[in-house]
Amino acid sequence: MGVEMIGKRIAAMRKERDIKQEELARCVGVSVQAVSKWENGGVPDTALLPLIADFFSVSVDSLFGRSITDYGDLQSALMGQVDDCPYEQKIKRVFNFCWDMERALMPCDGDKSSIEEYEKRIDQGDQLYSSIMTDHGFTRMGIANRLQYFLIVPEAADTEEAFFNGIDYPELFNDLSDKEVFNACVILHKRANKKAFTPNYLVKNAGLSPEGAQRALAILAKYGMIYPKEIELDDEVKTVYQFEPSPSFIALLIFAREIIDKPCGFSYYCLNRSKPYLK
């Protein structure tokens, strides 16, 4: 690839990552018109090549289409990509990297489509998955559009210690099987963080009985999800509660749904595991 092809390479990488010309221009300190000029046959100044390469987390050689095997300080480059990204786009950028890592784990070429390409191809309510299961650990990924997530679990040295030491799973599942407790947990996760409430809030908004509201509060307090607080109101001391939402509860819903509604649409599925998950 000649120097005149650098612009086409920049355009291809930008579009593949769903990055706007404005974002690239801002990060390397040029005008949007300059980026547009490169992508239409122009050539960036030599001094800008390292900045452009860093922006895309690639080497300068790759801008010329040269394949290399020395990735250098890739970790710092990835961190820089996230650090330079606008705050509201950071999680999405990391998720896109997770998909890249998922593809790298595939024992064959796998699918080359980006997350953005999936989102354009499938219906709004559709959900695809990817999962790689080996004797060294496993991954699970929800891909566009309904719900996105990424989980990677390296193989534990001692699953008995990791999962069961001092943990009473039946007690948790028994508590959550109480419909009023579960409904209280769901409705409280829909509220703003640390917003105070009284038991009557659960009666009105979660359909709980007064006794059910008190039972739910006691169980949520057991797991450290709510905290009682005394306030003085109209010359009386009253108890209100503050709730701290837990991402672990949301993760529990994600994987409980997969058990109830078993995934059937996989972008990639690799079952190359001979070990039991628990030992």
Instruction: Determine contact, residues 71/61, Cβ cutoff 8 Å.
Output: no
Chain segment 227-256, per-residue pLDDT in tens? 988 888 778 888 899 998 889 999 999 999
Instruction: Report the greatest alpha carbon distance in the chain.
Output: 81
What is the arithmetic mean of pLDDT over 27-33? 90
pLDDT in tens, 258-270: 999 888 888 888 9
How far apart (Å, rounded) are the C-alpha atoms in residues 48 and 158? 50
Closest CA to 278 of 159, 133, 110, 120: 159
Lowest mean pLDDT among 41-55, 61-75, 86-100: 61-75
d(C-alpha 30, C-alpha 13), whole Å: 18
Chain centre distance of CA 29: 30
105 confidence band (pLDDT: 50, 70, 90): confident
Identity at 55, one-letter amino acid code = F
Alpha-carbon distances of 145 from 92, 97, 148, 253, 257, rounded to whole Å: 13, 17, 7, 17, 16
Structure tokens belonging to residue 28: 């390397």
For the domain 169-245, what is the CATH code?
1.10.10.10
Mean predicted lDDT score pLDDT of the chain: 86
The arrangement of secondary structure in 3-84, i.e. its CATH architecture, is: Orthogonal Bundle (1.10)
Closest CA to 216 of 201, 232, 229, 230: 201
Instruction: Supply the DSSP string of 40-51, one letter for each residue.
Output: TT----GGGHHH
Q: Where are the domains of the chain?
A: 3-84, 90-155+257-272, 169-245
